[in-house]
Amino acid sequence: MNATTATGVAVGPRLRERRDAGRKLLVPYVTGGVSADWTDYLRAYADAGADAVEIGLPFSEPMIDGPTVQEASERALHRGATVRGVLADLRAARVDVPLIVMTYYHLVAREGHAEFCAALAEAGVRGLIVPDLPLEELAELEQATAAADVDLILVAAPSGAPSRLREIAARSRGFVYAMTAMVTTGERAELPASAAEFAARLKAHADLPVLLGFGISTPEHAVAGARAADGVVVASALMRGLLDGATPAESGAQVRALRAALDEVYG
Amino acid sequence: MHDPGATGRFGDYGGRYVPEALIPACAEVEEAFRAAWADAAFRRDLDRLLTVYAGRPTALTPAWNLSAELGITVLLKREDLAHTGSHKINNVLGQALLARRMGRTRLLAETGAGQHGVATATAAALLGLSATVFMGSKDMARQALNVHRMRLLGAEVVEVTSGSRTLKDATSEAMRHWVTCVDEAYYCLGSVMGPHPYPWMVREFQRVIGEEARAQCAAELPAAIPDYVVACIGGGSNAAGTFAGFAGTAAKLVGVEAAGGAAISGGKVAVMHGHRSYAIQDEHGQILEAESVAAGLDYPGIGPEHAHLHELGRARYVTVTDAEVIDAVRRLARSEGILPALESAHAIAWVLRAARDGELPPGATVLITLSGRGDKDTTTLMEIP
């Protein structure tokens, strides 16, 4: 496996530096290829104060996505989105925030671990989330991501035993992605109170930033989630807007509102 | 056909590729199954239900007329005679007992043709559990009778409208739903697929087909063991159960896939629905919709142990077309007075073709698992001239 010269902004150092400076982190999501102008949303997110952006590489059999992200993935696939196509768009986009790809293991494995990670790095992607690859199956991809200088970000679930949470915190890179509850992705009316408790438990194990995701839908949720965590990931609420016709400027305004709420309370 | 151990691997296939949120639930099912399977009382309870409720042992029926026509000996393992009309009840009774033993009050399931859903609704009613069954809207339309049966039995049928609106999407949706209710619900998977321990556990619950058939063949055939053992394959549970009874013999094992959903014959390695196996996919790795006249076989993947048996060369996987299947239904109905499920007719169709083409030599002995009965398919058959 050859080390790859990575481009793009590194995830771990950027998030840690900002966390240590007292800023609450905000990572918005967009489904790659969901519209012809999808990379304009990346720029809008970055301009609105995103600390990193998560990009979904759509797969036909998503195991943890709720209806909104599923709909976005189906739309992207219908438009002909592919791994290589999305990465080519990203390479051309040149956005000055860390880029993180989220996808399912099949799309990684069929390309080959090293090849997939090298392609990410070449496109300026420096973080990877593979939600259907649990600890037991992780070793090979862990090596490949490390060789390509890509952070392999692990997802921690509230169902995890303390020993698993410790191991996830120890092996995750970039940040630890904490699920707010035992749910699929999706907009929610309320953020469960247990989310903060879970984030606090994880922070006890993790030196890395801990970000809460799954159901963070409003600025109020973001503020509540960031009370115990180092920040939040927002996906479905943004994708709902996009699917309903929000322009990059309008989605950027959604992110700006989240940013403002976090800064107002914690800034 | 072994215990896949802690990793749940059959060679390179199997494993447990699920979100972290589901790992404890899978581990809990594995632990509970290992304990239950080693517990004589659990085995006694299951055996009793299989006998007095499901109607086991099912008959081994010589297909006298077809055998005479083809010049071979065809024996039918009659899972169509099991309660609810297919082999699915064997697995579901086992898993429902396990769920109850684990203190769960609710069964979740996915279904394609509806047979696994009906079996789940049935076992839930019997054991005082509730049942939620996910089913693609396309399958609901063509298997309306089974949808109605499930509802009569008290199950909630959830229509899945995402993707191709068939079994693969119902499976994805059921797994996603499981994340949200792992503490009270037990996921009752219908085939030899999914994350470890499901492929192994379901095969063990279906092993009864092969073990009974082997004993019955010994009484029926001078050579005791048939030359060929043939079963249809979607995910592959009736085939896995049948093959398990003959794994240590010289019988040639043949799995018959639908031509439009041939995971082994037309697919590539994939990680989907919690395991690594074969699935049909496009050039970019997106899983394709399978096409078959049999709703139970239009699944784009196949259980991981079948992928392993294929790689070892221990079992052979072949395909038949919808037209051959329809012909097989009519031939068996008219020659033996048995209306097979469209799924099961795939196995019949291959035997008809192999006998015609001389692939099955004159005098060959062939065991076919008739996995289910065709009552549910009469509407479909009425629409075919």
Give the pLDDT confidence of B70-99 residue by residue, as tens digits. 999 999 999 999 999 999 999 999 999 999
Average pLDDT, chain B: 96
Which residue among the candidates B30, B79, B110, B324 is catalytic per the annotation? B110
Set of chain A residues whose Cβ sits within 8 Å of the Cβ of B163: 60-61, 74
A54 classed as catalytic: yes
Crossing angle for the helix pair B322-336 and B342-356, nearest 10 degrees?
Answer: 90
Give the pLDDT confidence of A42-55 residue by residue, as tens digits. 999 999 999 999 99
Which of B17, B179, B271 is nearest residue A184 as measured by Cβ atoms?
Answer: B179
In angstroms, what CA-CA distances link B107 with A51, A56, B8, B85, B163?
42, 32, 23, 20, 24
Residue whose C-alpha is closest to residue A62's, from A33, A105, A100: A105
Which residue among the candidates A65, A89, A122, A187 is catalytic per the annotation? A65
Element (H, E) at B56: none
Q: In sequence order, what DSSP letters do the residues of B164-208 get, joined into one string?
A: TSSHHHHHHHHHHHHHTTTTTEEE---SS-SSTTHHHHHHHHHHH
Quote the tokens at residue B372: 């289910």
Domain locations in chain A as residue ranges: 3-262
Which of B15, B25, B272 is nearest residue A137 as measured by Cβ atoms?
Answer: B15
A65 classed as catalytic: yes
A3 band by pLDDT with thresholds 50, 70 and 90 = very low
DSSP structure class, residue A79: T
Global ipTM: 0.95
Average pLDDT, chain A: 96
Selected from 3.30.70.100, 3.30.390.10, 3.40.50.720, 3.20.20.70, the CATH number assigned to the domain covering A3-262 reads 3.20.20.70
Which residue among the candidates B67, B77, B86, B88 is catalytic per the annotation? B88
CB B316 within 8 A of CB B253: yes
pTM attached to this predicted model: 0.96
A4 band by pLDDT with thresholds 50, 70 and 90 = very low
CB A148 within 8 A of CB B34: no
Please indicate whether, in this complex, the C-beta atoms of B163 and A82 are within 8 angstroms of each other. no
Residue of B nearest to A185 (CA): B176
B88 classed as catalytic: yes
**Residue B363 zone, left/alpha/beta (φ > 0; ψ -120 to 50; rest):** left
Q: Which of B160, B179, B281, B289 to mutate to test the interface with A (most CBs of A within 10 A)?
A: B179
**Percent with pLDDT over 70 in chain B:** 100
Please indicate whether, in this complex, the C-beta atoms of A60 and B162 are within 8 angstroms of each other. no
Residue of B nearest to A85 (CA): B284
